[in-house]
Structure 1
Amino acid sequence: MEQQIDLSAFLTDYFETKHCTILSKEKGQIHIQLTEEMDKELMNRPFYWHYIKKIGREGEPQVLRLITDKEKASEPGEWIHFGSPRLHQIMNKLMDKERYTRLFEQVHTLDNTPLYPWLVSNIKISYRGAQHKDEIFSIGLQLLHGHMSTNMMDYLEAVPLDRTISDYCYTLTPMIQPQSGFLRIQNVLLQHVQNQDNAWAAASIKQLETEKTTLKHFYEDEPDHPRYVEELEALEKRFKPTITFQVINGGIFYLTNRQLE
């Protein structure tokens, strides 16, 4: 399974949707002029904006330079990657404000045109252990015939969408209920996880056992010491391998009958 979301494309879409200006975009770098709203959301400058408003002046939103290529991480700017605080911040904003939606493809037609229901889910898979890794997938499931697309956001980039249906268009009733559809999407991602090399999990368990042996040595005379129990729990939390799934956002999209890859 491929189709992990391209981070650079995702960030570009995100900031353009928020009406920010992309000043420049090179390989591994995005230069963004924030709006006042996005500056307030992302840049943590409440005192600046409070002062500006108090004296009746127009504020100056900051420019954000994001580096998505690890090889350029030493260049001026902020390196953003899966697992970085900045990306978590953006994901949390999406989850808080735009988690679910219902949109219609905009169609200019004088003929009766059916729109097919698609369940779209953007989902983050987090691998936690001695090392951390995140993957983000965008999957769409047509709720009439069950066709699935594993790069849905890439496809939707070129589709004009609105919250209201176009004239002469009508929606088709789903044959697959959204709950059942989401289980199909979940099964695809579970299969993806099962196909991954689990060497990272074995390495995490090995490191956990090593750390527990070392800790036990320090408390061998006081095995019931509260501090020992506390540190043991901390080691388990830090090194025990876990995999979690988190829905970032999604919704029902009504689209014309095009064949998706």
Structure 2
Amino acid sequence: MDNNTALQPIIEAKNVWKEYGDHVVLERLNIRVMQGEFVSILGTSGCGKSTFLNMLLGTQSPSRGELLLDGKPLNSEPGPERGIVFQKYSVFPHMTALQNIMVADEFEASRLLGKVWGSGKTALKDKAMDQLDKLGLAHAANRFPSEMSGGMQQRLAIAQALMKKPRILLLDEPFGALDPGIRKDMHVLINQIWQEQNLTIFMITHDLQEGFKLGSRLWVFDKPRYDPQEPERYGSQVTFDIPLNTPGQEALIADLQAKQQKEVA
């Protein structure tokens, strides 16, 4: 890797706006994220967190400005370099765990080669079983999602998202529906995956402690300007950008906690 590549952000937003008619969701968004960073994203409901994630995924496009991947305009449709996991288990209920993991590769192979048979089918199955094994689900390969616990279903969704070996993993409140004990285990798992695979991760969460615990950087989406007469006139920006596990972060965290407590009151 040369110096220019090392300094090139994997994701960059340059004066990005997202508007729906007169409703401004995001405005003047300027961010740079380097390969391997883990960004936890906090903010109130409706502040544009999921809109931003959808733009990263490619299901929505900026209204103005540029959203870049490796210095080039991001594709306006989902691509294999980006995987996503939602809060609600996004696996196919009529397929077994193994079939859920194989389906993307089978579809691609059949599109290019026609129906996959013999050694090709075996290779796809072996690859899928290896992915299930890494996520601790090899024993559940032939189970349907309805026969699996919430934690297992979310592990399956993560395995599915990682099957195409993405560089960027998008997590939209992935642990919000899990019990505290299972949630803690999932924290360990996602941290392990992040470090082993050098993924760039963007994770939306409503849990302040979870945001501080996971990742290398914490963003807060909020409106720096607000008109009570026209609440949709202005959009959100990243108002806090806190590097985690670094000296001096305690003061920034205290400010953020005080601000959230004031909003609740």
Higher relative contact order (CA 8 A, sep 6+): 2
TM over 0.5, yes or no? no
| Structure of higher CA gyration radius | 1
Output the TM-score relative to the length of structure 2. Answer: 0.22
Output the TM-score relative to the length of structure 1. Answer: 0.22
